[in-house]
Amino acid sequence: EVQLVESGGGLVQPGGSLKLSCAVSGFTFSGSSMHWVRQASGKGLEWLGRIRSKPNNYATAYAESVIGRFTISRDDSKNTTYLHMNNLKTEDTAVYYCSSPGYSISGINDYWGQGTLVTVSS
Amino acid sequence: DIVMTQSPDSLAVSLGERATMNCKSSQSVFSVYSTENYLAWYRQRPGQPPEPLIYGASTRKSGVPDRFSGSGSGTDFTLTISRLQAEDVAVYYCQQYYTTPWTFGQGTKVEIK
């Protein structure tokens, strides 16, 4: 069974930093790209970025809204990906999901975690 | 960035009836190399993460009921639910994965009339 489990969410002050983790089981993590998507309460989905696998040089790509503030990394030995968030703003308050195509040939994100809530407030 | 625009924002359909929603991209998401449209549809039920329904504009994911169908090419796409069931009450999102940043439409909310 495929599982993606996010952790690390919580309350942080504006300007602060937070690191989210996403632990993966059930597919070959090292061969899969990993994505982060967020959703503010009552709003739509916003793709934040992705990190590709080692054969693809761990290439990253980001949404314009988070460039320079958010960084995605991964530790293949721990089957975990991370979202490092700096200079947080109130508008970053959202549920943060990690997702992945896994071993699917579709190319889209077949697998999603349940999300972790980040609240940016003073 | 490719902008995805969905219509309508919401629709109410009777159980067993057809629901149709549209998605338009600001530029083509068709690849001449793969001859594939890089367009996906997701369903998000209340309180749940999104679940994939369709990829390549028209290919149903394994396990997705055949009442869901996708069509379109280039910049204009449609998701049809042929016979609405109660469990289809959700918000439906289209997403392009043709190029980064991947982008979602704003969603279409489907309710029971």
Q: Alpha carbon A78 to chain centroid distance?
A: 15
Report pLDDT digits (tens) over B29-53. 999 999 999 999 999 999 999 999 9
Q: Per-10-residue mean pLDDT for chain B, 113 residues long?
A: 98 98 98 96 97 97 96 98 96 98 98 96
Across chain B, what does the average pLDDT equal? 97
| B92 at A interface, C-beta within 8 A | no
- Cα–Cα distance measured from residue A22 to residue A8, given in angstroms and rounded to the nearest whole number: 9
Q: In 3-state terms, chain A is what percent helix, strand and coil (to 5)?
A: 10, 50, 45
Give the residue ranges of DSSP H helices in chain A: none
B49 and A110 in contact by Cβ < 8 A? no
Amino acid (one-letter) located at A56: N
Residues paired with residue B81 on neighbouring β-strands, in sequence order: B19, B68
What H or E segment, with its residue span, contains residue B91? strand B90-96
**pLDDT value of residue A89:** 97
**pLDDT value of residue A20:** 98
**pLDDT value of residue A105:** 83
Residues from chain B that touch A22, judged by Cβ atoms under 8 A, are none
Amino acid (one-letter) located at A86: N
Q: Is residue A49's pLDDT more than 90?
A: yes
Nearest to B102 among A47, A110, A112 (CB): A47
